[in-house]
Amino acid sequence: MRWRVVIAVAALVLAKLVAVATPLIFGQAVDRISDPENAATFLALGAVSLTILYGLTRLLEAGFQQLRDVVFAKVGQRALRRVGLETFEHIHKLSLRYHISRKTGGLSRVMERGVKGVSFLLRFMLFSIGPLILQLVLISFVLATVFDVRYLIVIVVAIVVYVWFTAVVTEWRVKIRKVMNDQDTDANQKAIDSLLNFETVKYFGAERREAERYDVAMAGYEAAALKTSYSLGFINIGQALIINVTMVIVMVMAAIDVSNGSATVGSFVAVNAYIMQVLMPLNFLGFVYREIRQALVDMGEMFGLLAQDPEVADKPDATQLKVTGGRIDLNDVHFSYEPDRPILNGVSLSVDRGKTLAIVGPSGSGKSTIGRLLFRFYDVTDGVLLIDGQDVRDVTQDSLHAAVGVVPQDTVLFNDSIFYNIAYGRADATRAEIEEAAKAAQIHEFIMSLPAGYDTVVGERGLKLSGGEKQRVGIARTLLKDPPILLLDEATSALDTETEHDIQDSLIAMGQGRTVVMIAHRLSTVIHADKIVVLEDGHIVESGTHDQLISLSGRYAHLWHLQSEEAA
């Protein structure tokens, strides 16, 4: 890539050298035409030859510019790709706490604007600001040496006034643009949120309400956008005034010099060309400056995102998790999402290799929190969580995640084929292995009954499939992953009783030979567990097998009888 940058910069410099020489050649051609007897021809060439040379310089300038763009294109696109990838990877590294509180629509818009801002800055800083500065230096040298220093003084004053005016007004506009960005993000978030919850909107007949929410956000965007447009008109008028007044002053000075004989008509034309070379790009510079400031605002939001440190991160000396059996131990574990709201209070439990542990209890007792700590979405506040004697905080997250398979309460699928969603469990799986996993999850026959079979697209979040079908795809996906430890986080609580009963057999078969942690609300799903612990207010109040707990006539027995009565 370095050679591309070198060639692009060389082409840029050559283009500007040719551009600065072009007005001199043009001026000489004009002098030659206006005074055929003049012996002081440029390089002893005639008017026709000078005209041809002028055309060639214009062609060379355009050619060098195109060469620069073509050679540098790959560099720019590669840089853009890397920035986008780095941002995307960083977002996935952020903690579950961040992703629970984030707004998907706003986040995607921040990332999109930030990457575009980097692209703009890279392109214009290198191909607009740098070349313009080089061109101004070269033209200033020519004006001061070949013509008269008075022209240079006028142009320098004009540039200073122009830059000052542009900077002051642009700073004012940036504040307005920031408000416009916020309104745009808010409107986009409301639109995506409403579309993701399409069914809920329909259930409550809230189409009008959602449209009004979106319209309120767009009204704020409209007001900010109008202010931006008005301020743009003001800055454009001011810049045009500065440029045109400067051009008139310089051309009047050149005309006076021609009339008193201190300059030729060719000099008048050359000065005019140089003024155009300075002031027209300067006008463009105003646009570039405005856009650069906006790009910096957009990039600032993206870099603010990149600056957020992941709440859960690997230690510098983290090792790979070595699962020799799959024993899990929680020793005096404390955890809280907020300092003043404890969730787990000194929980200690263990599950031997190849055994099934069920964790039950009322909502809010901390059941799902244990699952999140096991997968290390969060770190324990105090105490220790061990897998085969290894603290999960001392091993890499990748190795931990590879060892733990999760079947959540609500399996969310990608808007792709059933084949893709099952294959998500293991990227290198063969079709035969994918079909074998589907058969084990008892969904192969259903898939084959579909017109497109495994190529059937499941829709946004898998909404084209029923709850039971989605859950079976999720089970197949986890079976394909083949993890030594299995976490079933209320895996059937969202299903009807008949579907739950059918899937329960798949889950039991899935747990054979694995260490299984079941987090359940329905006690009927945990009867077969080797050990059941009852969690309440972050404490373990009972533990044992189903029969042992029933015989205690305690909290578990009370919940069992309540659910049995509900079922009856």
Domain boundaries for CATH 3.40.50.300 within the chain: 328-410+485-567
Residue 418 has pLDDT above 80, yes or no: yes
Residue 20 has pLDDT above 50, yes or no: yes
Closest C-alpha among 463, 568, 567, 478 to residue 525:
567
C-alpha 185/C-alpha 191 separation (Å) is 10
- The predicted structure's pLDDT at residue 42: 44
pLDDT interval class at 44 (50, 70, 90): very low
Instruction: Give per-residue pLDDT as tens, 433-452.
Output: 988 888 888 888 888 998 88
Alpha-carbon distance values, 444 to 227, 238, 279, 464, 517 (Å): 59, 71, 71, 17, 26
Domain boundaries for CATH 1.20.1560.10 within the chain: 75-306
Least confidently predicted of 47-51, 139-143, 195-199, 541-545: 47-51
C-alpha 23/C-alpha 350 separation (Å) is 85
Check: CB of residue 25 under 8 Å from CB of residue 54. Answer: yes
- The predicted structure's pLDDT at residue 93: 67
- Looking at per-residue pLDDT, the higher value among 491 and 416 belongs to 416
Instruction: Give per-residue pLDDT as tens, 300-341.
Output: 767 766 766 777 788 888 889 898 888 899 899 998 887 778
- The predicted structure's pLDDT at residue 79: 67
Instruction: Give per-residue pLDDT as tens, 245-303.
Output: 887 887 788 788 777 777 677 767 777 777 777 766 666 666 666 677 667 776 776 77
Using a pLDDT cut of 90, give the percent of the chain over it: 1
Residue 460 has pLDDT above 60, yes or no: yes
Check: CB of residue 321 under 8 Å from CB of residue 387. Answer: yes
Check: CB of residue 533 under 8 Å from CB of residue 543. Answer: yes
- The predicted structure's pLDDT at residue 366: 84
Instruction: Give per-residue pLDDT as tens, 202-227.
Output: 766 778 888 888 888 888 888 888 88
Closest C-alpha among 210, 229, 233 to residue 221:
229
Fold category of 75-306 in CATH:
ABC transporter transmembrane region fold (1.20.1560)
For 317, list phi and psi in degrees, rounded to 5: -105, 25
Alpha-carbon distance values, 154 to 157, 170, 395 (Å): 5, 24, 68
Least confidently predicted of 368-382, 508-522, 529-543: 508-522
Closest C-alpha among 491, 490, 521, 562 to residue 361:
521
Residue 148 has pLDDT above 70, yes or no: yes
Q: Which of 176-185, 227-236, 267-276, 541-550 has the highest mean pLDDT?
A: 541-550
Closest C-alpha among 73, 77, 53 to residue 8:
73
Alpha-carbon distance values, 193 to 175, 183, 207 (Å): 27, 15, 13
Return the CATH class of domain 328-410+485-567: alpha beta
Unique residue bearing structure tokens 């140089």: 274
- The predicted structure's pLDDT at residue 61: 63
pLDDT interval class at 377 (50, 70, 90): confident
pLDDT, the chain, mean: 77
pTM of the predicted protein model: 0.60
Structure tokens at 11: 């082409």
C-alpha 209/C-alpha 116 separation (Å) is 33
Give the mean pLDDT of 156-183.
Answer: 81
Using a pLDDT cut of 70, give the percent of the chain over it: 69
Q: What is the distance of C-alpha 132 from the center of its chain?
A: 32
pLDDT interval class at 123 (50, 70, 90): low
Residue 39 has pLDDT above 60, yes or no: no
User: Within a 10 A sphere around the Cβ of 508, how many other Cβ atoms?
Assistant: 13
Q: What is the DSSP string of 206-238?
A: -HHHHHHHHHHHHHHHHHHHHHHHHHHHHHHHH
Residue 36 has pLDDT above 60, yes or no: no
Check: CB of residue 110 under 8 Å from CB of residue 299. Answer: no
Q: What is the distance of C-alpha 458 from the center of its chain?
A: 25
- The predicted structure's pLDDT at residue 43: 43
